[in-house]
Structure 1
Amino acid sequence: MPDDEWERFLRESEAGAPGAPVEPSARAREAERRLRERSGPPEGWRTYAPARPRRRRTGWYVTGFAASAAVLVLALFPHRVVDWFGGGDGGASPAAAAPETARPEEAPGAEPGPGATIAEPFRGSPAARWADGAAGISVPAARATGWMDAAQVERALIRSRDFMVASGLDPRVLRGERPTEAIALLNPEQKDVQEYLRASLSSATPTAETDPLLLFSRFRPDHARLVGDTVRTRGRLTYREGRRGAVEVTADVTFVYPVTPASGDGGSDAEVVRTIVRREVVMSWDDPSKVVTRPGTMSLVSYALDLTNGGCSAPTGYFVPPFGTADEGAADPSHQVDPYDRTGPIGPGDTTASADGDCATATRS
């Protein structure tokens, strides 16, 4: 091949022959595929596309507002909320009352709903929010007092509560049996109390001074029986240094006993009466080096009773709920007592029962 032809061949091979087919690149092939798939005219690369409008989350804000409003209503009108959800009329149980740690400044308010029934014996009373049994008796923190260190004071407080439980909640005692466990906590060397125990628990005709109800809760089995096995309580223990360095514990407790006639069948329409008993018992845990006592026992300083729906006639040694008809004792309408009012101590004229049948009138039960 001549030299000039060879040079021309090399130049054409390097530059490519005119009109020769060119293999498209991968990017070109992808662009061509998108153009074929797109409907309508192609969009310029600077064409403006408005943003998709955001949907406002109105549901979140409405829900949050509704929740805030519900919290506010619950805080301001708790009793009304209970009514709405049926808590006062056989629905959900009302909110429990906080433990009593100090003397209240006012009596509890009225509770919604009708009166007591076999299914709901505490309905319509403040006791619907109270705790069961011993759980309703608040015990304070212990500190060294008098002759006792903190651990000894704690034991004295627990035993003081045990006495209130044994004397006011023991099912056997409520049926009229001997209060053995409560007596075991009493100092056997305290002669006047031992004489009271012998007279009150052995006499068929107790007097106002020897009535066992002054210390023990009892129902005559042939007259009344408890509705269920729950007694509602509210109260607290307090303590201080007493005489001769003793630790003096005061128990102030209200017991609510729902009872029904023993002769009835206990059906859903049976009559239910709430016997309400408030007790103030002052107990002295004495220094054995200064007072004759026995370990684990205490001496009684005083005891008082406020009774509603437990009898308005002469003492019988048992609570006598007024089933069917009014109690035979005459109530004094000019002297009214709220059995749930715990704002003050038990006064001499506060009780709704007395030995001579002159009784105050309870404003509610």
Structure 2
Amino acid sequence: MGKGGESISDEEWERFLREAEAGSKDAPEEPSARARMVAGRLREETARPEPWRSHSPARPRRGKGWYVVGLIVAAALLVVALDPGRVAGWFAGEGGESTPLAAESERPDQPPPTEAAVRQPTLDEPFRGSPAARWGDGQAALGLPEARATGWMSKAQVAQALKESRDFLAASSLDPGVLRGERPKKAIALINPHQRDVQDFLATAFRAPSRENDPLLLFSRFEDSKVRLVGDVVKTRGRITYREGKRGAVEVTTDVTYVYPVVRAEAGSDEVVRTIVRREVVMSWDDPAKIVTEPGTFSLVSYKVDTTNGGCDTFTGYFTPEFGAERATSPSGEGPAVDPYDRSTSMDARMRESDETGCGTATRS
């Protein structure tokens, strides 16, 4: 399934449309995210189906990342004097912050443990005090399931589809240039160019981002004139699964949480905050005999995103994390407190809650 292949000519496309209108059994279908996205909506609409772009999540959560620390810190200081070893165990969490977790093989049944006291991130330790300290680094932390012949694909083709699905995650959410705000060309090249509504969305999202056309639904981007990442490591945790989809396609589902430590772009800035993004993307590797596609590309089925400290009701095309000064003056979230590291809840349930409650407050960052 290597990349390549030329787009079909206008004459071939017109022939396809004529055959499709005539009901030709051999004419492949043009892929469309519209029907797929409407089918996957979280809220049922009895009046009329809304366009697929309305599947974008409701207002991302405003991640405060502050803790009530007064009495906790006082108690912790007392215990430090009495039993410093116990406090070290608290800070390290289960197994210690330096002990990496095994790859996630299934959805956990509870959120990760919460430290008994606050450990603020630093330039040298940007993940300190966070469950992500024990997570893997970037793409290497995202294991692939064992390939087996599925749908129209052989075992080797499924293995290649899984690899290229993970490549999309890297190109869309981990690539250093994309994180600095560059256009995600490599990631876009993996999306079926004949999926016209998606291509229209992509063109609009980068030119005029809005609630309906927000590039952050699929890509992680920061405005490098305002913030910069700390170091070159993004912590990740998640799963990649697959099954046979419609018309014998191989449908790959990715559910990954990304943790981005950032500081202000100004020289000498040392206040580290974290933007946490959980993104679910479902990709369909279609049979070219049944769907108009190109070699090495997939059709988007659906995508969902939930963000902490990335901006709430801000649609600039970039994540806009808040630092101490902004947090002191910004209004509180309308929704309940949410743990952004909790992966025990499905994305459907998380998005349903977000849709109902709007911006919430993160219990930790």
Tell me whether 1:341 sits opposite 2:345 in the alignment.
Answer: no
Of residues 322-331 and 215-224 in structure 1, the stretch that sits farther from structure 2 once superposed is 322-331
Q: Distance in 1 between matches of 2:98 and 2:90?
A: 9
Partner of 1:294: 294
Give the Å deviation of 1:105.
1.0
Equivalence for 2:31: none
SS at match of 1:251: strand
Distance 1:198 1:272, change over 3 A: same
Amino acid at match of 1:364: R
Q: SS at the partner of 2:203?
A: helix
1:148 equivalent in structure 2:
153
Q: What is the rounded CA distance, in whole Å, between the counterparts of 2:261 and 2:243 in structure 1?
A: 34
Are positions 1:120 and 2:125 aligned together? yes
Give the conservation status (yes or no) of the 8 Å contact 1:307–1:352: no
- The one-letter code matched in structure 1 to 2:127 is F
Do structure 1's residue 257 and structure 2's residue 257 form an aligned pair? no
RMSD: 2.6
Structure 1: how far apart are the matches of 2:335 and 2:196? 40
Partner of 1:139 in structure 2? 144
* Counterpart AA for 1:193: V
C-alpha separation in 2, matches of 1:350 and 1:108? 20
Name the CA distance, whole Å, in 1 between partners of 2:249 and 2:224: 39
1:1-365 pair list within 5 angstroms: 84=88, 88=92, 94-111=98-115, 114-203=119-208, 206-266=209-269, 270-326=270-326, 330-332=331-333, 334-347=335-348, 350=351, 358-365=358-365
Q: Any idea what SS the aligned residue of 2:360 has?
A: strand
CA distance in 2, matches of 1:364, 1:156: 36
Preserved CA contact (<8 Å) 1:274 1:309: yes
Whole-angstrom distance in 2 between the partners of 1:244 and 1:141: 22
Q: Is the 8 A contact 1:104 1:342 kept in 2?
A: yes
Query: Rg bigger for which structure?
Result: 1
Q: Deviations over 1:231-264 (max 9, x none)?
A: 0000110000000000000000000000000014
Q: CA deviation at 1:312?
A: 1.5
Q: Which runs of 5+ in 2 are unaligned?
A: 1-83
Residue 110 of structure 1: how far off its partner (Å): 1.5
What is the CA-CA distance between 1:351 and the residue it aligns to?
9.0
The answer to whether the Cα contact below 8 Å between 1:329 and 1:358 also exists between their aligned partners in 2 is no
So what's the TM-score if we normalise by structure 1? 0.71
- Paired with 2:86 and 2:177, the residues of 1 have a C-alpha distance of 36
CA displacement at 1:349 relative to structure 2: 5.7
Structure of greater relative contact order (alpha carbons < 8 Å, 6+ residues apart): 2
Change beyond 3 A, Cα 1:233–1:215: same
**Alpha-carbon distance between aligned partners in 2 of 1:329 and 1:154, rounded to the nearest angstrom:** 47
The alignment's TM-score, normalised by the length of structure 2, stands at: 0.71
User: CA offset at residue 99 of structure 1?
Assistant: 0.4
> Displaced runs of 4+ in structure 1, greater than 4 A?
80-87, 348-354
Q: Secondary structure at the match of 2:157?
A: helix
Q: Which amino acid aligns with 1:211?
A: D
8 A Cα contact 1:331 1:358, kept in partner: no
Q: Secondary structure at the match of 2:325?
A: coil
Looking at structure 2, the residues matched to 139 and 214 of structure 1 have their Cα atoms a distance apart, in angstroms, of 23
Q: Could you tell me whether the CA contact under 8 Å between 1:308 and 1:353 is conserved in 2? A: no
The question of whether the paired residues in 2 share the 8 Å contact of 1:185 and 1:296 is answered with yes
Shift, 1:336, TM fit: 1.7
Partner Cα distance (2:101, 2:205) in 1: 36
Relative distance call for 1:196 and 1:82 in structure 2 (3 A) is farther
Q: CA deviation at 1:88?
A: 3.8
Q: Where do 5+ consecutive residues of structure 1 fail to align?
A: 1-79
SS in 2 for 1:325: helix
Contact (CA 8 Å) 1:247, 1:286: kept in 2 or not? yes
- Equivalents in 1 of 2:218, 2:85: separation in Å? 40
Percent of pairs identical after alignment? Answer: 56
Instruction: Report deviation, 1:139.
Output: 1.0
Corresponding residue SS for 2:166:
helix
Query: How far is 1:138 from its partner?
Result: 2.1
Identify if the C-alpha distance between structure 1 residues 252 and 349 changes in structure 2 by more than 3 Å, giving closer, same or farther.
Answer: closer
